[in-house]
Protein backbone atom coordinates (compact mmCIF):
# COMPACT_ATOMS: atom_id res chain seq x y z
CA UNK A 1 0.00 0.00 0.00
CA UNK A 2 1.56 3.30 -1.11
CA UNK A 3 0.84 6.24 1.19
CA UNK A 4 3.16 8.74 -0.43
CA UNK A 5 1.50 11.86 -1.78
CA UNK A 6 2.97 15.18 -2.86
CA UNK A 7 0.76 17.06 -0.39
CA UNK A 8 1.14 14.75 2.63
CA UNK A 9 4.41 16.08 4.05
CA UNK A 10 4.25 19.70 5.20
CA UNK A 11 7.72 21.13 4.46
CA UNK A 12 9.12 23.02 7.45
CA UNK A 13 12.58 24.23 8.44
CA UNK A 14 12.95 22.81 11.94
CA UNK A 15 10.09 20.30 12.24
CA UNK A 16 10.61 17.15 10.18
CA UNK A 17 7.65 14.81 10.61
CA UNK A 18 4.62 17.07 10.11
CA UNK A 19 2.18 15.12 7.92
CA UNK A 20 -1.40 15.26 6.71
CA UNK A 21 -3.53 12.22 7.60
CA UNK A 22 -5.88 12.86 4.69
CA UNK A 23 -6.39 10.76 1.60
CA UNK A 24 -6.48 7.34 3.27
CA UNK A 25 -9.18 4.98 1.98
CA UNK A 26 -11.34 3.19 4.55
CA UNK A 27 -12.66 -0.35 4.30
CA UNK A 28 -16.11 0.95 3.32
CA UNK A 29 -14.79 3.12 0.50
CA UNK A 30 -14.69 6.52 2.17
CA UNK A 31 -11.53 8.66 2.47
CA UNK A 32 -9.94 10.54 5.36
CA UNK A 33 -10.38 14.27 4.78
CA UNK A 34 -7.42 16.33 3.60
CA UNK A 35 -6.23 19.42 5.51
CA UNK A 36 -8.19 18.47 8.61
CA UNK A 37 -5.97 16.34 10.87
CA UNK A 38 -2.19 16.31 11.09
CA UNK A 39 0.48 14.39 12.98
CA UNK A 40 3.83 15.95 13.87
CA UNK A 41 7.03 15.96 15.89
CA UNK A 42 8.43 18.69 18.20
CA UNK A 43 6.38 21.78 17.44
CA UNK A 44 8.35 23.76 20.01
CA UNK A 45 11.07 24.05 17.32
CA UNK A 46 8.92 25.96 14.81
CA UNK A 47 10.81 28.87 13.25
CA UNK A 48 9.08 32.13 12.26
CA UNK A 49 8.91 30.86 8.67
CA UNK A 50 7.48 27.56 9.92
CA UNK A 51 4.83 29.42 11.88
CA UNK A 52 3.76 31.20 8.71
CA UNK A 53 3.38 27.83 7.01
CA UNK A 54 1.42 26.39 9.92
CA UNK A 55 -0.75 29.50 10.13
CA UNK A 56 -1.77 28.97 6.52
CA UNK A 57 -3.14 25.54 7.50
CA UNK A 58 -5.67 27.25 9.75
CA UNK A 59 -4.85 25.10 12.78
CA UNK A 60 -7.42 25.49 15.55
CA UNK A 61 -6.20 22.87 18.01
CA UNK A 62 -2.85 21.48 19.19
CA UNK A 63 -2.75 18.22 21.15
CA UNK A 64 0.59 17.59 22.88
CA UNK A 65 1.30 13.95 23.80
CA UNK A 66 4.66 14.53 25.54
CA UNK A 67 5.53 14.14 29.20
CA UNK A 68 5.37 17.05 31.68
CA UNK A 69 9.17 17.03 31.92
CA UNK A 70 9.49 17.44 28.14
CA UNK A 71 7.21 20.48 28.25
CA UNK A 72 9.25 22.03 31.04
CA UNK A 73 12.59 21.34 29.36
CA UNK A 74 11.78 22.15 25.74
CA UNK A 75 8.66 24.31 25.73
CA UNK A 76 5.53 23.90 23.69
CA UNK A 77 3.76 25.10 20.56
CA UNK A 78 4.18 28.91 20.23
CA UNK A 79 0.63 29.94 21.12
CA UNK A 80 1.62 33.62 21.27
CA UNK A 81 2.44 33.49 17.55
CA UNK A 82 -0.53 31.35 16.53
CA UNK A 83 -3.34 31.21 19.10
CA UNK A 84 -4.99 27.79 19.27
CA UNK A 85 -6.73 25.55 21.77
CA UNK A 86 -4.00 23.59 23.52
CA UNK A 87 -4.48 20.18 25.14
CA UNK A 88 -1.79 18.30 27.05
CA UNK A 89 -2.49 14.55 26.93
CA UNK A 90 0.68 12.73 28.04
CA UNK A 91 0.51 9.16 26.71
CA UNK A 92 3.24 8.27 29.22
CA UNK A 93 4.27 10.30 32.24
CA UNK A 94 7.98 9.43 32.10
CA UNK A 95 10.16 8.29 29.18
CA UNK A 96 11.72 4.85 29.68
CA UNK A 97 15.32 4.75 30.87
CA UNK A 98 18.15 3.10 28.95
CA UNK A 99 18.43 0.57 31.77
CA UNK A 100 14.76 -0.41 31.44
CA UNK A 101 15.01 -0.87 27.70
CA UNK A 102 18.21 -2.93 28.03
CA UNK A 103 16.22 -5.66 29.80
CA UNK A 104 13.97 -6.16 26.74
CA UNK A 105 16.48 -7.88 24.44
CA UNK A 106 18.25 -6.90 21.22
CA UNK A 107 15.51 -6.84 18.57
CA UNK A 108 14.47 -3.17 18.02
CA UNK A 109 11.09 -4.18 16.59
CA UNK A 110 10.28 -6.42 19.56
CA UNK A 111 11.48 -3.76 22.00
CA UNK A 112 9.26 -1.09 20.48
CA UNK A 113 6.26 -3.42 20.36
CA UNK A 114 6.68 -4.02 24.10
CA UNK A 115 6.88 -0.26 24.70
CA UNK A 116 3.89 0.45 22.48
CA UNK A 117 1.79 -2.02 24.44
CA UNK A 118 2.94 -0.21 27.57
CA UNK A 119 1.80 3.07 26.01
CA UNK A 120 -1.64 1.61 25.39
CA UNK A 121 -1.84 0.45 29.01
CA UNK A 122 -0.61 3.70 30.54
CA UNK A 123 -2.30 6.08 28.11
CA UNK A 124 -5.76 4.58 27.72
CA UNK A 125 -7.64 7.57 29.10
CA UNK A 126 -5.52 10.04 27.15
CA UNK A 127 -6.35 8.18 23.94
CA UNK A 128 -10.04 8.32 24.87
CA UNK A 129 -9.75 12.06 25.47
CA UNK A 130 -8.00 12.47 22.10
CA UNK A 131 -10.96 10.87 20.32
CA UNK A 132 -13.45 12.89 22.33
CA UNK A 133 -11.68 16.13 21.41
CA UNK A 134 -11.53 15.25 17.70
CA UNK A 135 -15.25 14.42 17.80
CA UNK A 136 -16.00 18.13 18.25
CA UNK A 137 -16.14 19.81 14.83
CA UNK A 138 -15.02 23.21 16.13
CA UNK A 139 -11.55 21.85 17.03
CA UNK A 140 -10.57 21.19 13.43
CA UNK A 141 -8.14 21.51 11.73
CA UNK A 142 -6.03 19.94 14.48
CA UNK A 143 -2.57 18.48 14.99
CA UNK A 144 -1.36 15.98 17.58
CA UNK A 145 2.35 15.54 18.23
CA UNK A 146 5.10 14.22 20.48
CA UNK A 147 8.89 14.67 20.31
CA UNK A 148 9.83 12.73 17.16
CA UNK A 149 6.32 12.25 15.77
CA UNK A 150 6.94 8.51 15.59
CA UNK A 151 6.01 6.57 18.72
CA UNK A 152 3.35 8.29 20.80
CA UNK A 153 2.09 10.06 17.69
CA UNK A 154 2.23 6.74 15.84
CA UNK A 155 0.05 5.14 18.53
CA UNK A 156 -2.45 7.99 18.36
CA UNK A 157 -2.55 7.80 14.55
CA UNK A 158 -3.15 4.05 14.68
CA UNK A 159 -6.07 4.55 17.05
CA UNK A 160 -7.69 7.36 15.05
CA UNK A 161 -7.22 5.71 11.66
CA UNK A 162 -8.23 2.31 13.01
CA UNK A 163 -11.45 3.66 14.52
CA UNK A 164 -12.26 5.31 11.18
CA UNK A 165 -11.89 1.96 9.41
CA UNK A 166 -8.58 2.54 7.63
CA UNK A 167 -7.06 -0.92 6.90
CA UNK A 168 -4.10 -2.15 8.90
CA UNK A 169 -1.74 -2.17 5.91
CA UNK A 170 -2.37 1.54 5.39
CA UNK A 171 -1.80 2.33 9.06
CA UNK A 172 1.47 0.38 8.93
CA UNK A 173 2.58 2.21 5.80
CA UNK A 174 1.77 5.58 7.36
CA UNK A 175 3.79 4.63 10.43
CA UNK A 176 6.78 3.62 8.29
CA UNK A 177 6.96 7.12 6.75
CA UNK A 178 8.57 8.23 10.01
CA UNK A 179 11.80 6.42 9.10
CA UNK A 180 12.67 9.03 6.47
CA UNK A 181 11.63 11.81 8.84
CA UNK A 182 13.99 10.49 11.51
CA UNK A 183 16.87 10.75 9.03
CA UNK A 184 15.93 14.36 8.26
CA UNK A 185 15.67 15.14 11.96
CA UNK A 186 19.07 13.66 12.78
CA UNK A 187 20.71 15.60 9.93
CA UNK A 188 19.10 18.83 11.16
CA UNK A 189 20.22 18.17 14.74
CA UNK A 190 23.76 17.58 13.48
CA UNK A 191 23.80 21.02 11.88
CA UNK A 192 21.74 23.00 14.39
CA UNK A 193 21.50 21.26 17.77
CA UNK A 194 24.60 19.08 18.26
CA UNK A 195 23.73 18.47 21.91
CA UNK A 196 20.65 16.61 20.70
CA UNK A 197 22.87 14.35 18.56
CA UNK A 198 24.81 13.45 21.70
CA UNK A 199 21.59 12.81 23.58
CA UNK A 200 20.21 10.58 20.82
CA UNK A 201 23.47 8.63 20.70
CA UNK A 202 23.00 7.74 24.36
CA UNK A 203 19.48 6.43 23.77
CA UNK A 204 18.68 2.83 22.77
CA UNK A 205 18.96 2.25 19.02
CA UNK A 206 15.37 0.98 19.06
CA UNK A 207 14.15 4.53 19.75
CA UNK A 208 15.35 5.56 16.29
CA UNK A 209 13.61 2.80 14.35
CA UNK A 210 10.25 2.83 12.56
CA UNK A 211 10.12 -0.82 11.58
CA UNK A 212 6.77 -1.73 9.96
CA UNK A 213 6.84 -5.02 11.84
CA UNK A 214 6.33 -3.15 15.09
CA UNK A 215 3.05 -1.60 14.00
CA UNK A 216 1.97 -4.82 12.27
CA UNK A 217 2.52 -6.72 15.52
CA UNK A 218 0.65 -4.12 17.54
CA UNK A 219 -2.40 -4.12 15.26
CA UNK A 220 -2.43 -7.92 15.14
CA UNK A 221 -2.49 -8.05 18.94
CA UNK A 222 -5.30 -5.48 19.15
CA UNK A 223 -7.37 -7.52 16.70
CA UNK A 224 -6.61 -10.80 18.48
CA UNK A 225 -7.51 -9.45 21.90
CA UNK A 226 -10.42 -7.17 21.04
CA UNK A 227 -11.61 -7.93 17.50
CA UNK A 228 -10.82 -4.48 16.08
CA UNK A 229 -9.49 -1.08 17.08
CA UNK A 230 -13.04 0.24 17.36
CA UNK A 231 -13.98 -2.64 19.68
CA UNK A 232 -10.90 -1.95 21.78
CA UNK A 233 -11.77 1.73 22.12
CA UNK A 234 -15.41 0.83 22.81
CA UNK A 235 -14.18 -1.31 25.73
CA UNK A 236 -12.64 1.86 27.20
CA UNK A 237 -16.05 3.55 27.28
CA UNK A 238 -16.14 5.42 23.96
CA UNK A 239 -19.70 5.44 22.64
CA UNK A 240 -21.23 5.27 19.20
CA UNK A 241 -21.95 9.00 19.32
CA UNK A 242 -18.20 9.69 19.35
CA UNK A 243 -17.58 7.23 16.52
CA UNK A 244 -20.32 8.84 14.42
CA UNK A 245 -18.95 12.34 15.08
CA UNK A 246 -15.42 11.27 14.15
CA UNK A 247 -16.66 9.85 10.86
CA UNK A 248 -18.61 13.05 10.12
CA UNK A 249 -15.64 15.26 10.98
CA UNK A 250 -12.81 13.28 9.42
CA UNK A 251 -14.20 11.31 6.45
CA UNK A 252 -15.40 12.17 2.97
CA UNK A 253 -17.69 9.92 0.95
pLDDT tens sequence across 129-143: 999 999 999 999 999
Separation CA 168–CA 26 (nearest Å): 10
Q: Which residue has the higher pLDDT, 4 or 236?
A: 236
Q: Burial of 226 by CB count in 10 Å (0-12 exposed, 13-18 middle, 19+ buried)?
A: middle
Q: Is the pLDDT reported for residue 170 higher than 90? A: yes
Residue 1 pLDDT: 52
**Residue range 226-253: average pLDDT?**
97
Residue 2 pLDDT: 66
**Contact criterion met (CB below 8 Å) for 153 and 182:** no
Residue 172 pLDDT: 97
Q: What is the pTM of this model?
A: 0.95
Render pLDDT for 29-45 as a digit per residue (tens, 0 to 9): 999 999 999 999 999 99
**Contact criterion met (CB below 8 Å) for 1 and 166:** no
Separation CA 34–CA 26 (nearest Å): 14
Residue 204 pLDDT: 79
Give the residue from 78, 45, 46 showing the smallest Cα distance to 62: 78
Q: Is the pLDDT reported for residue 156 higher than 90? A: yes
Left (φ > 0), alpha (ψ -120 to 50) or beta: where does 234 sit?
alpha
Amino acid sequence: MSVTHDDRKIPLEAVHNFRDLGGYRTADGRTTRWRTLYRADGLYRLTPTDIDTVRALGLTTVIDLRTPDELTERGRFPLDDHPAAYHHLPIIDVVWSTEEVATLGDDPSAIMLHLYLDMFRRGEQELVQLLQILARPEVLPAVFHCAAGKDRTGIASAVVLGVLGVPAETIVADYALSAEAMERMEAWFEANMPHMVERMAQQPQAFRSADPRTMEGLLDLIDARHGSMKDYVRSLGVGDDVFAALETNLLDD
